[in-house]
Amino acid sequence: MEKRQLFVSNSQESIRIFEKDWMEALSKTHFTVPLFIYLPVVGCCIWFSERHWSSVGLFLGGLLVWTLTEYILHRFVFHWVLPGRWGARIHFIIHGIHHDYPNDRLRLVMPPAVSIPLAFLFFSGYRWLLGTPTVYPFFAGLVFGYLCYDMIHYALHHLNLKHPLLQRLKHHHMLHHFQQPDKGFGVSCPFWDFIFKTTFVLHKKSSP
């Protein structure tokens, strides 16, 4: 597990992480870009789904599977630090930069250069497991869950949230960022933190 970070910037500006301009450009993404890319994917998958109540169940199943996928990726991929200088470098590019620069508006959502190949990989895997047309409503739910995650993550960092549920999610995520980065891996859905016992250890103040 990674060590707790010692540096956190309050700047909303992006730091440069690649020497080549094209690589640097691909590493930055406005938070609305996933909506333009993946809402049509959700729509197409729903269009190709069978008009049956089972499709609703598959959509909800895909949504649930996304919440687990989000947890697994965040805990075991984003927070996995390989040994050595290159391991630290790779971790910084993948996720460490977000912990050091949490207010960077252009590095809050996964860039399409990464998310699109992953989407093809996930679709191919679930098509092999579920077959067609079963995969379509399931994948629609999975991708919709991903979009919810991206939008919620952006909101937690940059919006003044009033709804009690969103405020609780923000509190949960800020604890992960600034107090216990080895806990609280669920961003849009903290449910799996309770299941896998990665909830925060909060110390009560002793009475005088």
Per-residue DSSP letter, 74: I
Residue-averaged pLDDT of the chain? 90
**d(Cα 11, Cα 27) in Å, to the nearest integer?**
18
- Please give the model's pTM, rounded to 2 decimal places: 0.90
- The tens digit of pLDDT for each residue in 98-118 reads 988 888 889 889 999 999 999
Cα 166 to Cα 160: distance, rounded to the nearest angstrom: 10
The pLDDT tens digits of the residues spanning 152-200 come to: 999 999 999 999 999 999 999 999 999 999 999 999 999 999 999 999 9
Q: Determine the 3-state secondary structure of 84 from DSSP.
A: helix
Answer yes or no: is pLDDT of 2 > 50: no
Tell me what the mean pLDDT of segment 16-41 comes to.
Answer: 94
In this prediction, residue 1 carries a pLDDT of 45
**Distance, CA of 45 to CA of 160 (rounded, Å):** 33
Place of tokens 């993404």: 29
The values of phi and psi at residue 181, to 5°, are: -70, -10
pLDDT of residue 25: 93
106 DSSP 8-state letter:
T
Pairwise CA distance, residues 185 & 79, whole Å: 9
